[in-house]
Structures are given as C-alpha cells and as structure tokens.
Amino acid sequence: MKEKTVVGFDFGTTNSLVSVVVDDRVHDLLDDDGLPVPSVVKYEGVRKVVGKDAKDALDASGLGVHGSFVKSPKTYLGDETITVEGVELSPVDITFDVIDHVRQRALLSARNDGLLADITAAVATIPVDMDGLRRRALREAYARAGIGIVQFVHEPFAALYGHFRPRIGTDFVHRFDRKNILVVDWGGGTLDLTLCRMEDGRVVQLQNAGTAELGGDVFDDALRNWVLTHGTEGTVDINPDRRRQLRHKCEELKIHLSEEDPATLYIRNFYPETGTALSKQMTRGELESIAKPLIDRAMDHIVALLDAAHVSDSQVALCLVTGGMSRMPAIAARLREFFGPHRVEISQNSATLVAQGAAWIAYDRQQLELAKDLEVRLARGGYQRILRAGTKVPVEGEALASELLGLYCADPRDGHAKFQICAPTRPGSHVQRSDPRDDIDGFSLDVDTKARPLIERLRLLTALDPDGIVEVSAQSDLFKFRVTKALHDLQFGISLGSATATTNRTDDPGPPVTQEPPEAGSLVIRSNLADTRDDSYVPGELLYTYKPTYFSRALNPPQIQVDERLYYQPCAICHRRSNDPECRCGSR
C-alpha cells in the first residue's frame, strides 16, 4: 500500500497556499495566475464565491447589494457565530469554505503536474498566539474538508525550516550553527516573531511573540482613514460598502507603492450622488509617514522579545523577514538600520515560504518536541519540572504525553494554593536552578484553611495534546476541587532534515529542589521515595488502610502520620470531612 503524501498547508489571514515535496523538490500548488488563493468568501444567498473571484468582486460597483464578504476568516475562529448579511454563520463553516476551495484549487494544479491524487493529511501552519480553542476550531474545519492535521507548526518556525532545509549540508547552514536567528513573519493579519537557535542540526525556538494589531490589514485601515481625511470631498458620508471597497483599493495602493513611486488610487463612481470618481495620487514618502507609528510599535515588540530572551540585537546572526509586508521598503530599511544591512535577509519567496517549510517538515516526517522544561515554582525559590524538554508532541490518535506530580500547600491560611507555571529561558534539560525563568501562567486552587501546613495533598497533572497545547490540572486530595489551565505560549524544537536525527533528551532528574523552610502561600514538593522499608515514610491515611494496628496508642505512632490519618478520615458518625464546622459529633 502506497504511503499517503502529507502536504504543507498555510491557511493564511490574507492568502492561503498548499505546497508539497515530491522527489526532494518542493512544489507550490498555485492558482491559474500562479498566485496563492485569497482567503475571502462572498455569500450570495446559498451561493458561495471563494478566493480570487471573491476578491475581484471587491472592486465591483454596487458592492454588497447581492451578497456579503468575509475577509480573513481565520481571525474569527474561536467565536461562536458571526453575522453575514443578517444570517448567523459559524466561523468553522466559513473557514471550511476557504480551506476546501484551496484544497480543490491545489488538487487541480497537482493533477496537472502529476504530483498527487488527493489531499488527506497536512502539516498546518498557525500564528504563534493562536490559543487552544482556536486550534481545535481550525482542526475541525480541516476535518470537514477531509484533511487530517498531522501537526500544527508556528508560521515563522515553518518559514525558517523552509529557508534552511533546501540548503542542508552547505556552508550556509554551517555558518549559523550555534547562532541566534530572528524570524519576522509580517503578514496581512498578524506580526509573528520567533527567536531561534541552530544547534547540531536542530532548530530550537527560544522566544515567541505575536500580535494581530500590526498586521497588513491595520496598515490598510490607517491608509484608508488618511484618504478619507485628505482625499475625499469634504464631509461626504461614505457608506460601509464604499468604505470596504476603498480599503481594498488602499491595500492595492500600498502594494504598488512598494514597487513604484508615486501611485494613484482610483475608484469609478465613488460618489453615488454625483457619479464622480475618487482619484488620489500618493507618494511613497506619504505612505511611510502614515506607517511610521505602526512600524515603531513593531520595533518595540522586537526589542521586548529580545529582552525577554536575554539576547541583545548584536547577538542575532540573521534576521529573516517574510510575509506580504516584507515587501514594504520602509520595513526593510528600519530592520536593516536596527540589525545592520548584512544581517537582514528579505525572503525572495515570502508569499510561499511558510507553506514550503510545512511541506518540508511533512516530507522529512519530523515531529515537534518541547524545547524547554515546563516547571512549577516551589517555596523559597525552588523549581520542579512537570514536563520534560524533548517531549514529543503526539500526533492525533496517540496517547497524550503526561506527568503526575504530588505537592503540599505550605501555607493554606488564605484558602488558596498558588501555582506559577514557568520555563527556563535556556532550552534543553540541562538547566540550573540559578538560570532565569519566564513565567507562562498562574492559577490558584481552593484548599482547606484549617489544615496544618504540609498536610493537605495536591495533585498536579500535566498533559501535552496533538494541538501543541499543554493542559495543567491541579486537584486537592481532600476536597476534590479541580482547576485546569491551558498553555499555548510554548517553544518547540525540530531536527533539520533527517527524521532519524538524535535529540537532546536526557534522563536527568531535573532541577534540584530547595530544602529551606517554605514561605507563606507557597508549594513544596512531596517526596514519595524512601531508602529503607520504614512505615514512617508512608502517608498516614494510606498506612491505616492496610495496617491499622500501627496507630495503637501503645505503639506511639509519629504525630504527623496520626494527623494525616485523621485529616483524611471522615467522621465515623456523620461522615463529614475533617474540620467541617457542621460536625459536632465529638462535642456530644
């Protein structure tokens, strides 16, 4: 039986593309014009127009009379519904419409070249800030189109893989070994950043950041607002359909100004009352003046990312820039000013690089792994690992990678056990207690306020799912309360090229845990190890279940075990929990 081909699928905010590697060569499955498919849907009753035809319709006069448009449907994933022409639609359904259309266009291109007969599995790319709810919705949309997701990969991470993979074994790759590489993926919907490091044939993420507030669409909005202020007839009221049409034309104007100077925006019959056109000539300097505040904010994000990773700009060996916005000269100039001209590379195939990287990952059958340990902070500055660096992200259908940890609450007086999840700044498992940590998220669990310190036991279950989401769940052994937190701001690593490359996994026991007295409100690790067969190491309530005579007063059992047995033993008369104020059986 022939093994199915897994493609790389870049479902983008602005454009979408499928790429596939056949016989060690990457192929982009483009539309008839040799371009990616626009992520646009137009609804005309029960009829759907998707892709290029829908985008072309944005130029038409009478816009919106016969239907409504949904542009960038990925941004709505996670919402329950959106209203389109007075009808509530599911963002998953809209996303499916685009994905299925892209799939059909890709198959048409693939069959013409004899590359593949069907698309049933994909490595799918996602923005770095896409949370678990949105990833599950995206997976469902792919499933409706008959495509199974092998794994999700961050878009800038895929771009870096696609940039280096065709050059594997060359001096170009060796030149960046043990060097830091910043990927700036600046598309229409998001600005995604990832700082990576090349180490012994592996690419490892050090720090990620992403925002939807600085994508190309935001530049288009700013340009449209400028045109409405400086290029229209006084205070003429512009209806929503014309504003949408103007925004689309501003996007085209922005693209033209990247290649020519000046450029003209023209919309026929823009003013319905007079039938006159809107014509506005703009220079590249005017566009750069409008874009400067947004570019300044983007540079602030880059500086913050480097600061969080404890890396200076001089320690970045390469800044790889991709995405549609990389073609704007002002952006390239600003990055070269910051990093130096020789360390900034603007991708020549920025529109296709993300999909190509995903296709190479699929072809190499690579599986993402956690780049860093996940830890929980303990009392007095200690840390305990809850998930090991090198843990592979399971594919769909595989068992979740999980770890169970036992803890105590050192100070339950306020009724809360505080959990702070963190990760070392440095990747890999060889981490020292003195290494800096990045806080990922935190939560609290209700505990018994009347319990003595270090009596009530807590369980912390950590699981990594196929969507690349870590779910951390804490529960009290007494109250059975459970609190769950989903973590998506994680870093991953992957081998570059061969799927049989060795990993950096080790079997070391993890960071040492401090033995100092716990501070108020902190957690401490509960050790369950003993060097001799000594009953005094066994928790009191557990020991009582198989050796009740141990607690005879004549034998003088340790008080801590007596307290444990009584704390977890319900009242023999009313069966309420210990310390329950409603239990007055003893006073009677």
- Residue 1 has what pLDDT? 39
Degrees (nearest 5) of the Cα angle 391, 423, 186? 90
Ranges of H-type helices in 24-165: 52-57, 91-113, 132-144, 155-164
Start-end of H helices in 525-558: 540-546
Query: Do the beta carbons of residue 358 and residue 25 sit within 8 Å?
Result: no
DSSP 13-65: SSEEEEEEEETTEEEEE--TTSSPEE-EEEEETTEEEETHHHHHHTTSSSTTS
Q: Count CB atoms within 10 A of the CB of residue 209.
A: 20
Closest C-alpha to 567, from 552, 582, 577, 559: 577
Distance CA 317, CA 271 (A): 52
As given in the structure block, the two tokens for residue 427 are 């990747």
Judge contact between 138 and 77, C-beta under 8 A: yes
Q: Which of 36, 146, 60 is nearest to 96 (CA)?
A: 146
* SS3 label, residue 52: helix
CB 73 within 8 A of CB 51: no
Name the residue among 313, 337, 245 with its Cα closest to residue 56. 245
What tokens does 506 get?
Answer: 């080790």
pLDDT at residue 353, rounded to an integer: 96
Sheet holding 316-322, edge to edge: 344-346, 316-322, 180-186, 191-199, 202-211, 492-495, 369-370
pLDDT for the residue numbered 326:
93
Q: Is 259 helix (H, G, I), strand (E, B) or coil?
A: coil
Which spans in 319-472 are helix H? Answer: 329-339, 353-364
CA distance 57 to 557: 83
Q: Using CA of residue 388, residue 393, residue 397, residue 398, what is the dihedral sign?
A: negative
Helix (H, G, I), strand (E, B) or coil at 384: strand
Which pLDDT score, from 0 to 100, does residue 29 have? Answer: 94
CA angle 266–269–274, rounded 5-degree value: 125
Tell which phi-psi region holds residue 269, choosing left (phi > 0), alpha (psi between -120 and 50) or beta.
left
DSSP state of 177: B
- The long-range contacts involving 134-139, CB below 8 angstroms and separated by at least 24 positions, are 134/77, 134/78, 135/467, 135/468, 135/469, 135/488, 136/467, 137/77, 137/78, 137/91, 137/92, 137/95, 138/11, 138/74, 138/77, 138/95, 139/467
The pair of structure tokens assigned to 412 is 């339950």
The residue behind tokens 């279950």 is 461
Peptide bond into 166 cis (omega under 30): no
User: Is the torsion defined by CA of 261, 267, 271, 275 positive or negative?
Assistant: positive
Closest CA to 84 of 98, 64, 102: 64
Given a cut of 70, the residues of the chain with pLDDT beneath it are 1-3, 58-67, 231-237, 498-521, 527-530, 586-588
Amino acid at 427: P
For the entire predicted model, the pTM comes to 0.87
Could you say which DSSP state residue 392 is in? B
Contact at 8 Å (CB) between 523 and 545?
A: no
Q: How far is the C-alpha of 103 from the C-alpha of 119, rounded, in Å? A: 7
Residues 485 and 131: their CA atoms lie apart, in Å, by 12
Alpha carbons 547 and 552: distance in angstroms, whole number: 10
Tell me the two tokens of residue 529: 């190890």
For residues 470 and 452, what is the distance between their CA atoms, to the nearest angstrom?
32
Report CA dihedral (450, 453, 457, 461) to the nearest 10 degrees: 110
**Residue 85, helix vs strand vs coil:** coil
Nearest to 89 by CA among 77, 102, 103, 99: 77
465 HSE (CA, 13 A, CB side): 16
At which residue do the structure tokens 């060889």 appear? 430
What integer pLDDT is reported at residue 571 of this predicted model?
83
| Sign of the torsion angle spanned by Cα atoms 345, 346, 352, 355 | positive
Kind and range of the H or E element at 70? strand 68-71
φ, ψ for residue 434, nearest 5 deg: -80, -10
Which two structure tokens, joined as six digits, stand for 361?
Answer: 């990952």
